[in-house]
Amino acid sequence: MSVTDDTSALLRDRAAAVLRDNDAGGWTKASPHLYPHQWSWDSAFIAIGWAHLDVRRALSELEQLLAAQWPSGMVPHIVFRGGPGVPYFPGPEWWNCSVTPAPGAAPLRTTGICQPPVHALALRRIWQLTPAGQQPEVRARLRALYPKLVNWHRYLATGRDPEGSGLVTTYHPWEGTDNSPRWDRALARIEVAGPGPYTRLDADQLGDPSQRPTDWDYDRYLWLVGELRDCGYDDAEIYRRSPFLIKDVFFSSVLVAANAALLDLADVAGADADDRADLLRWLERGRDGLTARFDPPSGLCTDFDVRAGEEIRLRTFASFAPLFARTPDAGQQDAQLRLLDSADFCGDPQLRWPLLLSTSPAEPVFEPRTYWRGPVWPIINWLLWQSLSELGYRDRSAGLCRDALDQITAKGDFAEYFEPMTGEPLGSPRQSWTAAVTLDWLGSLG
Ligand code: 2M8
């Protein structure tokens, strides 16, 4: 099936219905049952989707998330807005943290870690889609959000990069791509992970436990939460104590792209000279940091395990961090595109569509149905599509958009992720961010 004018109108209505059904009043559940609270990077993608329906509603999504920003500038990975009766594990009691959004306001319960900073990309898209008549109101709200996003980026560029390397250090697999094989060795070093008794809800809710991380993974995830909690979520203390400290090139590349997005909005936001200078410095340092992790012969960009002092050399979507960062260097772009087209990635003839997978089929750890260990994630392909468009690869980006929409249209109901060889929809159905990027892709078709 391919997306024609008729099917695209229908698809748009169906995608909009997913966001409306998951709308909880100013914020959107990441999915109806499996993820019933507000997730950070999900919210950013969701705001991009809302921007095609109602820019005011799109702004609320970011405003509600940023209301839970910590004094340090960190934006927590989950805001438990669904309330205490909504089943999700691990819930707020495991994290034991909250923020008070305004003097006298009720505290918001959150987690103590964060996710990739897609939010500035969302704010830029909201502004791009704002109808002329709504510009005064949207500009005022954008100006209120902008300094919060600068503080968020400042936290990542300082608290999460004490070395000044340009690369963000992540503290937990839940800071983006949970059971990616990129974390296997670091997790394996945690020999005794006794987090105490717990009952998972995810495997039952999904109905197919084999798609989800294993109990071995969960023991370590929860033990690490305990470690972070015991450190009082203090960055310096975490750096001293935690066995899990990773220079994550994917996370870092999103920060580079997000810094560029804030610079694009600087005039609209009335940003001061100091903030502009900081954003530019973080952007350039981020690009340099990624270049230092780039291996020209293979075209791979690799994460670095700070605690072990070793490179994490695996072929995954994160290998394309320079592309995600829109690196202008032509040599790096060529090497990355060669790798992307190779049989290790989109050139694998077994693939149903030539889309970027979470893990290369050429890796022994590849698992086509298991979460971040092989399946295709629409949001990752959306980030790649944005980069290819911005770098001027029009045919490539148009092809990616067409294939991604074909995948979403062919089977299922806005699946969280897809089996790469068969196109089978997997994970949660009616996942908000899948619907959101669908709306943005359809919008790009004009
Ligand atoms: C997944 O992560 C959550 C934990 O945060 C989970 O597995 O329960 C990941 O895909 C994460 O990146 C995403 O933000 C979240 C909600 O979609 O689900």
CA-77 nearest atom, ligand 1: 5
**Distance of CA 42 from the midpoint of ligand 1 (Å):** 9
Q: How many helices (H) and strands (E) does the chain have?
A: 18, 12
Any idea which residue has 């033990």 for tokens? 223
Q: Tell me the pLDDT tens digit for each residue of 415-437.
A: 999 999 999 999 999 999 999 99
Whether 210 has a pLDDT exceeding 50, the answer reads: yes
Backbone angle region of 288, left / alpha / beta, with phi > 0 → left and psi within -120 to 50 → alpha: alpha
CA-377 nearest atom, ligand 1: 10
| Confidence at 94, pLDDT banded by 50, 70, 90 | very high
| Confidence at 269, pLDDT banded by 50, 70, 90 | very high
pTM for the full predicted model: 0.98
CA-174 nearest atom, ligand 1: 5
* H or E segment and range at residue 123: helix 119-128
Average pLDDT over residues 363-391: 98
- Which residue CA neighbors atom 1 of ligand 1 most closely? 178
- What is the residue-averaged pLDDT of the chain? 96
> Which residues have CB under 6 Å of ligand 1?
30, 35, 39, 41-42, 77, 115, 174, 176, 178, 202
If one residue of 35, 75, 202, 417 were mutated to test the ligand 1 pocket, choosing by the most ligand atoms within 8 A of its CB, it would be 35
The predicted pLDDT at position 7 comes to 85
**Distance of CA 416 from the midpoint of ligand 1 (Å):** 10
Whether 314 has a pLDDT exceeding 50, the answer reads: yes
**Distance of CA 255 from the midpoint of ligand 1 (Å):** 19
CA-432 nearest atom, ligand 1: 17
**Distance of CA 383 from the midpoint of ligand 1 (Å):** 17
Q: Tell me the pLDDT tens digit for each residue of 331-356.
A: 999 999 999 999 999 999 999 999 99
Average pLDDT over residues 276-299: 98
Residues 6+ apart with CB under 8 A from 108: 67, 68, 79, 80, 81, 98, 99, 100, 101
**Distance of CA 75 from the midpoint of ligand 1 (Å):** 15
Catalytic site positions: 178, 416
The predicted pLDDT at position 1 comes to 46
Average pLDDT over residues 80-104: 92
The predicted pLDDT at position 85 comes to 86
**Distance of CA 78 from the midpoint of ligand 1 (Å):** 9
Whether 413 has a pLDDT exceeding 80, the answer reads: yes
If one residue of 178, 317, 372 were mutated to test the ligand 1 pocket, choosing by the most ligand atoms within 8 A of its CB, it would be 178
Burial of residue 236, with CB atoms counted within 10 A of its CB: 0-12 exposed, 13-18 middle, 19 or more buried: exposed
- 168 within 8 A of 156, measured Cβ to Cβ: yes
- Residue 170 backbone phi and psi in degrees, to 5: -100, 150
The predicted pLDDT at position 255 comes to 99
- Which residue CA neighbors atom 12 of ligand 1 most closely? 176
Which of 169, 337, 334, 321 shows the shortest CA–CA distance to 247?
Answer: 169
Which of 221, 253, 227, 222 shows the shortest CA–CA distance to 239?
Answer: 227
The predicted pLDDT at position 3 comes to 66
Bridge partners (DSSP) listed for residue 305? 246, 310
How many Å is the Cα radius of gyration of the chain? 20
Kindly list the distances between the CA atom of residue 29 and the CA atoms of 61, 77, 78, in Å, as whole numbers in the listed order. 10, 13, 11
Burial of residue 53, with CB atoms counted within 10 A of its CB: 0-12 exposed, 13-18 middle, 19 or more buried: middle
Whether 439 has a pLDDT exceeding 50, the answer reads: yes
| Confidence at 258, pLDDT banded by 50, 70, 90 | very high
Whether 4 has a pLDDT exceeding 80, the answer reads: no
Give the lowest-confidence range in 62-66, 192-196, 368-372, 390-394.
192-196
Q: How far apart are CA 15 and CA 433, in angstroms?
A: 10
- 39 within 8 A of 27, measured Cβ to Cβ: no
Average pLDDT over residues 165-177: 97
- Which residue CA neighbors atom 3 of ligand 1 most closely? 174
- 120 within 8 A of 258, measured Cβ to Cβ: yes
In percent, the amount of the chain with pLDDT more than 70 equals: 99
